[in-house]
């Protein structure tokens, strides 16, 4: 039987691009078919297959953001939106809604199945070395697991788990071949498949996939396997395993030792040398004048992570997984259409719910908790007002100039699909730690850092930090050394660690719990709030709400927040949406694959 490689992707063009450094590596490729036995001859063919998969994956960006944000409480539709977007926001989705269509996910999954099958053949026939096989097979395996996790998040118990390399979309609709798999069972299958992969790090230095491609370093292009495994275990409720993988991901630069990168990358660590409060490499929220909300700096610190080039230090220290949209090749950047009122269709906007949440926070003086203005700088960074309308800026900051409110170049619609960054990583770790019973440590990650929370309660300025600023008596992976003392002088691996709120100069999270159960709930509520304040619009909100609702068996986690969004924005469907979401079956989209 003849088999064909990626019926929507042509490997030959991508292979030539990889070898020549052509600018079209992520271009949407034509639909010619190429026989597998001629497509998989060497490592460059395997590289082209990987890049072809990621090129097709980028076509999911619009659907991914719409489903993961518009279904939640932080993003809403504008008057320009069609009925399909309105249905997603107010939870009246019909089976023919294109945003609810699972076919694009399955098309890519079937492509992944094909690549995995052919890589196995290449390795068997010694066309790939063991290292080259391990890296590439593990990458595509994890991307497929990520896609299935997304299907579980949005379709619940309706997902069909298709792993056969011979399967087609039509096969996947056949219940005799692929019956529905409950979400919990799907998680078991994904863990069983993903855990044994032969390579869990990112592509090694010197790999032909660890390169500079048309000015873009590829290091952050590919899914982080340890983060994915952490997520799978977190959803399954295996919190120690989740925390272990998140800790490994956070410690990626620790082997570099006492270096700036060793202390800061993915650790929420401040950067030494220059002023740590305004240095772009740290991404603090920055003000020219202490305590003056009108002196916020927009060209340094926190907002620059959304305008930084992929090779800059504030980009590489913040972004764990991000893919670039470049005007020179397809697919086109979908976020201009979704978010921009200039040069785009302005279909989605921040909800009043999230702007109220930012306004309810209290800022503190630089690095020192204290009284301050009632606002959160991250809200002012994330949203601007254009002609009386709120505009979500994160995905369009490279296109739309904040000051002029005009495109930098109306014909150049570059940008990034930001999939995962260090604040999501540290807060997922905190979520797992909190559920595992380490509430104070989880609080430190959210609030004002390990060194701040585990300090001498009677005299935080005592120079001898030997007994303090650490959790070394805790079991792994919860044992951290954040000591920063002078007598004796000591610097732990985590001594520069900040909490998410302290990096934003926001007052520490207030915890009033007097028992363990209340501590867990209050810290978890704080996490849900902080993920909204820090990571709004980035594509993680629905999953965060759903995961906590499942762990607590509490539908109101979702229902009340969505209700408030719709109510504040004047949607008449608010009450009906809440009633629907109070039933677990109402959490999921209609599944129509045929």
Please write the tens of the pLDDT for every residue from 509-563. 999 988 888 999 999 999 999 999 999 999 999 999 999 999 999 999 999 999 9
Has residue 171 got a pLDDT over 60? yes
Which pTM was predicted?
Answer: 0.93
Please write the tens of the pLDDT for every residue from 185-206. 999 999 999 999 999 999 999 9
In a domain, 242, yes or no: no
Tell which wins on pLDDT, 371 or 196: 196
In a domain, 348, yes or no: no
Tell which wins on pLDDT, 459 or 150: 150
Q: How many domains does the chain have?
A: 1
In a domain, 468, yes or no: no
Q: What is the Cα–Cα distance from 222 to 225, expressed in whole angstroms?
A: 9
Give CA separation, 26 vs 17, 50, 97, 336, 506, in Å: 9, 11, 27, 18, 40
In a domain, 327, yes or no: no
Which pLDDT does position 29 carry in this prediction? 33
Q: What is the mean predicted confidence (pLDDT) over 30-58?
A: 80
Please write the tens of the pLDDT for every residue from 229-245. 999 999 999 999 999 99
Which pLDDT does position 262 carry in this prediction? 93
Has residue 32 got a pLDDT over 70? no
Pair 156, 587: CB distance under 8 Å:
yes
Six-digit token string for 359: 């306004």
Q: What is the mean predicted confidence (pLDDT) over 306-314?
A: 89
Q: Which residue has the tokens 């363990």?
A: 516
Q: What is the Cα–Cα distance from 383 to 415, expressed in whole angstroms?
A: 17
Which pLDDT does position 293 carry in this prediction? 65
In a domain, 543, yes or no: no
In a domain, 356, yes or no: no
In a domain, 304, yes or no: no
Which pLDDT does position 299 carry in this prediction? 83
Question: In this structure, what CATH number is given to the domain that contains residue 65?
Answer: 1.25.40.390
Which pLDDT does position 366 carry in this prediction? 55
Which pLDDT does position 418 carry in this prediction? 97
41 backbone dihedrals φ, ψ, rounded to 5°: -110, -25
In a domain, 146, yes or no: yes
Six-digit token string for 174: 């056949």
Expressed as residue numbers, the domain containing 120 is 4-221
């Amino acid at each position: 039987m003849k088999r064909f490689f990626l019926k929507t992707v042509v490997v030959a063009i991508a292979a030539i691009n990889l070898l020549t450094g052509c600018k079209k590596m992520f271009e949407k490729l034509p639909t010619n078919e190429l026989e597998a036995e001629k497509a998989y001859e060497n490592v460059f063919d395997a590289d082209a297959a990987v890049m072809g998969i990621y090129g097709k994956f980028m076509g999911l960006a619009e659907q991914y953001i719409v489903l993961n944000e518009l279904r939640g409480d932080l993003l809403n539709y504008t008057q320009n939106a069609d009925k399909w977007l309105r249905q997603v926001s107010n939870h009246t989705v019909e089976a023919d809604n294109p945003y609810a269509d699972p076919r694009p996910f399955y098309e890519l999954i079937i492509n992944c199945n094909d690549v995995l099958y052919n890589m196995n053949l290449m390795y068997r026939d010694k066309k790939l070395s063991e290292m080259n096989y391990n890296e590439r097979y593990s990458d595509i395996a994890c991307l497929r697991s990520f896609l299935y996790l997304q299907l579980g998040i949005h379709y619940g118990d309706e997902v069909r788990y298709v792993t056969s390399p011979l399967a087609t979309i039509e096969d996947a609709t056949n219940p005799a071949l692929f019956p529905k798999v409950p979400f919990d069972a799907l998680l078991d299958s994904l863990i069983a498949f993903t855990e044994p992969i032969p390579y869990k790090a990112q592509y090694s230095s010197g790999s032909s996939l660890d390169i500079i491609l048309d000015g873009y370093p590829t290091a952050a292009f590919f899914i982080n396997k340890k983060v994915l495994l952490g997520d799978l275990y977190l959803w399954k409720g295996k919190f120690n395993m989740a925390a272990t993988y998140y800790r490994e991901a956070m410690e990626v630069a620790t082997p570099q030792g006492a270096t700036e990168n060793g202390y800061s990358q993915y650790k929420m660590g401040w950067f030494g040398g220059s002023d740590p409060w305004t240095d772009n490499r740290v991404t603090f929220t920055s003000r020219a004048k202490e305590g003056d909300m009108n002196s916020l700096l927009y060209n340094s610190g926190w907002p620059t992570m959304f305008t930084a080039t992929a090779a800059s230090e504030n980009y590489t220290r913040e972004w764990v997984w991000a893919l670039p949209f470049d005007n020179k090749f397809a697919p086109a950047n979908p976020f201009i259409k979704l978010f921009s009122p200039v040069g785009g269709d302005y279909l989605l906007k921040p909800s009043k719910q999230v702007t109220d949440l930012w306004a309810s926070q209290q800022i503190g003086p630089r690095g020192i908790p204290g009284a301050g203005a009632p606002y959160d700088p991250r809200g002012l960074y994330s949203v601007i007002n254009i002609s009386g309308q709120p505009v979500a800026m994160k995905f369009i900051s490279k296109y739309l100039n904040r000051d002029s409110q005009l495109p930098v170049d109306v014909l150049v619609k570059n940008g990034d699909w930001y999939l995962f960054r260090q604040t999501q990583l540290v807060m997922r770790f905190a979520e797992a730690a909190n559920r595992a019973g380490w509430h104070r440590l989880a609080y430190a990650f959210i609030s004002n850092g390990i060194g701040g929370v585990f300090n001498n309660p009677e005299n935080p300025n005592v120079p001898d930090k030997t007994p303090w600023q650490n959790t070394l008596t805790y079991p792994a992976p919860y044992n951290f050394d954040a000591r920063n003392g002078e007598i004796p002088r000591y610097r732990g691996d985590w001594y520069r660690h900040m909490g998410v709120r302290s990096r934003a100069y926001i007052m520490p999270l207030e915890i009033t719990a007097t028992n363990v159960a209340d501590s867990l709930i209050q810290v978890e509520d704080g996490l849900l709030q902080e993920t909204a304040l820090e990571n709004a619009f980035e594509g993680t909100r629905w999953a965060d709400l759903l995961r906590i609702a499942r762990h607590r068996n509490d539908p109101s986690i979702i229902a009340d927040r969505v209700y408030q969004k719709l109510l504040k924005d004047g949607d008449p469907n608010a009450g009906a949406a809440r009633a629907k979401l109070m039933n677990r079956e109402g959490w999921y989209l209609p599944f129509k694959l045929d």
